[in-house]
Amino acid sequence: MPPKGTEGVPATAPPRTLFIWPNVLTIETVLTDLEFQYKQFAADGKVQVYTATVTFEEILDVRVTSEERRQEV
């Protein structure tokens, strides 16, 4: 049961994403910002070229202590 006052939070929380860079990095993240810049339009007004800027924030569902990090090294 969710804590009092948080019943609607999952429905309004930012979308979770799984960020994968093969053979380098895999992390679960929250999409915190998304911005589009439109660069070029067709004669009928449709967008042909755009740039998307995305900001992610890592989700740490598990508490990690400094002692655990030292043991990994």
- What is the model's pTM? 0.52
pLDDT tens, per residue, the chain with 73 residues: 555 666 665 666 777 888 888 888 888 888 888 899 999 999 999 999 999 999 989 887 766 666 766 776 6
- How far apart CA 5 and CA 49 sit, in angstroms, is 43
Matching residue, tokens 């989700």: 59
Residues in the chain: 73
Which DSSP letter does residue 3 get?
P
3-state secondary structure of 68: helix
